[in-house]
Amino acid sequence: MATSRQPNSENLLESIIGLTEQRTQQSLENCLIETMRDLTGAVRVALYGLSSDANNRVLVLSQFSHAAGQPRYFESQAGIPPEIVLRDAAEAFRKCLENQEVVDVPQPDFGGVRILYPVLGAEEHLTGLLAVDYLALSPSNHRLISAFLRIYQNYQNLLSENQRDRLTGLLNRRTFEDQINQILAEQRAALEAGETGSCYFLTIFDIDFFKKINDTYGHLYGDEVLLLFARLMRQTFRGEDLLYRFGGEEFVVLLKATDTGSCLKILERFRQNVENFAFPQVGRVTVSGGCVAITGKGLQTTLLDHADQALYYAKNHGRNQILHYEQLVEAGKLAVTDQEGSVDLF
**Global pTM exceeds 0.75:** no
Q: What is the pLDDT of residues 162-187, one digit of tens each?
A: 888 989 989 999 889 988 988 898 88
- Helix axis angle, 300-316 to 173-192, nearest 10°: 120
Q: What is the pLDDT of residues 233-246, one digit of tens each?
A: 999 998 789 999 99
What SS3 state is found at 87?
A: helix
**Mean of the per-residue pLDDT values of the chain:** 84
User: Are residues 190 and 119 located together in one domain of the fold?
Assistant: no
| Residue 40 CA: distances (Å) to CA of 10, 62, 64 | 14, 20, 15
Residue 76: per-residue pLDDT: 35
- Asked if residue 271 is part of any domain, the answer here is yes
User: Are residues 127 and 245 located together in one domain of the fold?
Assistant: no
Round to whole Å and give the CA distance between 205 and 288.
6
User: Are residues 142 and 217 located together in one domain of the fold?
Assistant: no
Name the residue range of residue 276's domain. 173-330
Residue 186: per-residue pLDDT: 86
CATH of the domain at 91: 3.30.450.40
pLDDT confidence bin for 344, thresholds 50/70/90: very low
- Asked if residue 3 is part of any domain, the answer here is no
- Asked if residue 233 is part of any domain, the answer here is yes
User: Are residues 83 and 188 located together in one domain of the fold?
Assistant: no
User: Are residues 193 and 110 located together in one domain of the fold?
Assistant: no
Which distant-in-sequence residues (6+ apart) come within 8 Å of 9 by Cβ? none
User: Are residues 184 and 156 located together in one domain of the fold?
Assistant: no
- Asked if residue 338 is part of any domain, the answer here is no
- Asked if residue 316 is part of any domain, the answer here is yes
- Asked if residue 67 is part of any domain, the answer here is yes
Q: What is the pLDDT of residues 208-229, one digit of tens each?
A: 999 999 999 999 999 999 999 9
Residue 196 has pLDDT above 80, yes or no: no
Is-contact 64 44, C-beta < 8 A? yes
User: Are residues 159 and 195 located together in one domain of the fold?
Assistant: no
User: Are residues 139 and 219 located together in one domain of the fold?
Assistant: no
First to last CA, the chain: 58
What is the number of domains present in the chain?
A: 2
Task: Name which of 288, 279, 211 is nearest 248 in CA terms.
Answer: 211
